[in-house]
Amino acid sequence: MKKHEYPDLGETLYEEVLPNGLSVLVAVKPGFRKNAAFFATRYGGADRRFKVNGEWIDTPAGVAHFLEHKMFDMPDGRNVLSDFAALGASPNAFTGAGLTAYYFTGSENFMDNLRLLLTYVSTPYYTDESVAKEQGIIAQEIRMGEDSPGYAGYFQLMSALYDRHPIRENIAGSVESIAQITPETLYHCHSVFYHPSNMALCCVGDVDPEAIAAAAREILPDTPGEKPERDYGAPETLLPGRKRVEKTMSVSAPQFLLGVKLPYLSDGAARERQKLLAELAGECLLGKSSAFYNDLYAKGLLTGDFSVENDSAAGTAALFFGAQSRDPDAVAEAVHEAVSGVALHGLDKDALERCRRAKYGRLLGSLDSFSAYAVSLAESRLDGWNALDAFAALESVTLAECEAFLCENLTRERLALSVIRPNA
């Protein structure tokens, strides 16, 4: 395996692309007992229409998430969650818009747990009875999600920003769409997306990189699969489909998300740099250490839960800001005024450097969370960049770039507002 040293970060990373196309990355942490392994496929809730063997396939919304739920069942009737528990590991999984991941954390029996992880994720097993049972479980999960204000506010914003892209819809699908899922649907999508050349295996801990690669070669298929072509619909402009959306729910105070679509860049490293630029510029202008936030907090227009977040998945990129507020429209207007101030006076250079150091510190601290570290390695590899390059990319972002980013993207025409208000 290739060995990469990052002396400034104190990190050593091993990597190899196996003959079957699987990317294996191992961050070795000598002397630590804890460990983590993360096995991910580039397949998520937005990947509903795809082309394989020259044929376009349409699938119901929610298949990727449904697969995640069903992968823990084995043909011999075992549920591997109990097997992990017996080996002293804590397993879990999640589905995003463009990725599905399975992982475990532990402090012992690493190789046994790794072999179990590789085995069950590569062993599909679905029956009519188990699918029907899971449809009821996921339908309940969907209804619970619809009752969550934060969840509802996010998808309300996505549906305002995007006219057609499936990113605007629930990753879990709808009660109606999951009713269309059959064992045949699951087997087909597993064969299309769960082949090694569409996946990444990332491990962190005091572990043996060569033994990890050997286990992957032994357990997984030995040939690459066809990489599917994805279709997310006709291209959309950077303008939102709707400028403002609102609904009422059982909340104690109004909640909002203010968001903007960003260009989706073709190069993975460029996408990551844009993400860091967006977060740094947004934090400097609007974050909790900014004059903007402190002024609106003093006026009672913002609460302590205010956040600045960037999201990039499945051919989309967006920056959004959210919190509770008694007057979301007043906050949105204040954002417009703050951006106008950047156009006239620029950003505070010292404030930007404080935000950069804080961001750098958070990135550095994430390397101590082995599960978060493994997640970032896998997500970055599947997106075409290296997670450890984020530190240099962050340092390279300039004041002028941040100012230009804010003035070009956070315009009145581009921003959309999602509001959840209390029931009358």
Annotated catalytic sites, by residue? 68
The residues, ordered by sequence, that sit 6+ positions from 56 with a Cβ below 8 Å of its Cβ are 49, 50, 231
Token couple for 321: 């800001």
CA 325 to chain centre: 26
Spatial CA neighbour of 158 closest among 62, 271, 260: 260
Question: Residue 417 in contact with residue 327, Cβ under 8 Å?
Answer: no
Strands 100-106 and 307-313: unpaired
* C-beta of residue 91 within 8 angstroms of C-beta of residue 71: no
Q: Edge to edge, what strands does the sheet with 11-17 contain?
A: 2-6, 11-17, 23-28, 199-205, 35-41, 100-106, 90-95
> Which residues lie closer than 8 Å to 87 by C-beta, 6 or more apart?
106, 108, 109, 112, 113, 116
Q: What is the rounded CA–CA span in Å between residue 341 and residue 108? A: 55
- Nearest Cα neighbor of 18 from 208, 209, 191, 190 is 209
The secondary structure of 322-334 as a DSSP string is EEE-S-HHHHHHH
Q: DSSP letters of 210-253?
A: HHHHHHHHHHS-SS--PPPEE---S---SS-S-SEEEEEES-SS
Cα 54 from chain centre: 29
Q: What is the largest CA-CA distance in the chain?
A: 68
Rounded to an integer, what distance in angstroms lies between the CA atom of residue 92 and that of residue 81? 9
Contacts of 92 (CB under 8 A, 6+ apart): 102, 103, 104
